[in-house]
Structure 1
């Protein structure tokens, strides 16, 4: 198989995309500088130019993952007009996550503190986003907290149970959670009237 020319310029995003793909396929053990450079057809100089070294790359990858798979999703959900729409947007975005890569990031975090810290921050932000939506639907605070925690448990649980994640099943599980949340919201509205 012919190699890409060495002068080919790659972007940081191409490094991140390749890294997430490799994490999904081989886990953190398969993600190395040499693998990335071979996969992208570049020399290690390109890697060091962008990231300075492995620690810089890991930090940049985690920042990218957090921004793209959490911050962007939360912002999309917040842009919707009402809590019902925000719940639907969040459900769709959560279904579309790179689940196999995320499962690998969780496994990686068990042995790497900076990965663990980012993964915990991502989980906390996702939980807070769901909690805000459920609360905005009028669900009582103690119920909203439990429902948001259930949503996170479903996401993480499906990522751990299946490889690859069955997207149809995940969607069905999220739909069931959505019905449960809406049922709680309906009961809360009835009790206020």
Structure 2
């Protein structure tokens, strides 16, 4: 892992554990045993770091899952959606706490909100595109994509967080509506 990636991963780690206000240069330097010079070598300032952190979150928690789901070129949509589901379940509690933290940050910060709106759009568009291949109705694919996504996000926000196996069971029940 590059030094830049270490900065970003640590930023997301602190964000997930303690929220946006805890993500400070001093805190990150201390936890990584790196200098402010190293920080400013990789980022022009806090705003640049936060933008990079959101981009890294987007890759780690969205694009990476899409890549895993699409790993079997030419596979049936049912196989792609199952690979996506398995990858999300493997992400587990770490992804849940990070997702909640990013959503909390987005309620306070316009840049984070804009980034999260784009992430939500990309996630829903991907789900809908796979589900569209499983049904002849675009509106049904959109509705099922939203239900799956809302169960996932809602399960993360539920206190205590809903276990991933329960979220997965609900996901299966929603998918079963396409088969009936």
Superposition TM-score, scaled by structure 2 size: 0.89
Q: Distance in 2 between matches of 1:16 and 1:170?
A: 28
Query: 2:60 aligns to what?
Result: 68
Q: Which residue of 2 aligns with 1:82?
A: 76
1:133 aligns with 2:130: yes
Question: Residue in 2 aligned with 1:14?
Answer: 6
For residues 139 and 13 of structure 1, the distance between their equivalents in structure 2, rounded to whole angstroms, comes to 42
Aligned-residue offset at 1:18: 1.2
Asked if 1:160 is matched to 2:152, the reply is no
Instruction: Report if aligned partners of 1:23, 1:101 keep a CA contact under 8 Å in 2.
Output: yes
2: CA distance, partners of 1:126 / 1:68: 12
Q: 2:110 matched to which residue of 1?
A: 113
How far off is 1:142 after superposition? 1.5
Moved over 4 A (4+): none
* CA shift in 2, pair 1:164/1:38, >3 Å: farther
Tell me the secondary structure at the aligned position of residue 137 of structure 1. Answer: coil
- Tell me the CA shift for residue 10 of structure 1: 6.3
Q: Does the alignment pair 1:56 with 2:48?
A: yes
- For 1:10 and 1:149, how far apart are their aligned partners in 2? 36
Secondary structure of the corresponding residue to residue 135 of structure 2: coil
Deviation at 1:152, TM superposition (A): 1.3
CA distance in 2, matches of 1:124, 1:59: 18
Match of 1:122 in 2: 119
CA contact (8 A) 1:99 1:165 kept: no
Please give the alpha-carbon distance, in whole angstroms, between the structure 2 residues aligned to 1:11 and 1:143: 45
Name the stretch that deviates more: 156-165 or 129-138. 156-165
2:85 equivalent in structure 1: 91
Return the alpha-carbon distance in structure 2 between the equivalents of residues 44 and 10 of structure 1.
16
CA RMSD of aligned residues (A): 1.8
- Give the drift of 1:78: 2.6
CA-CA distance at 1:86 after TM superposition: 0.6
Count matched residues: 175
The SS at the match of 1:79 is coil
TM-score (norm 1): 0.83
Secondary structure of 1:52's partner? coil
**Any stretches of 5+ residues in structure 1 without a counterpart?**
1-8, 188-193
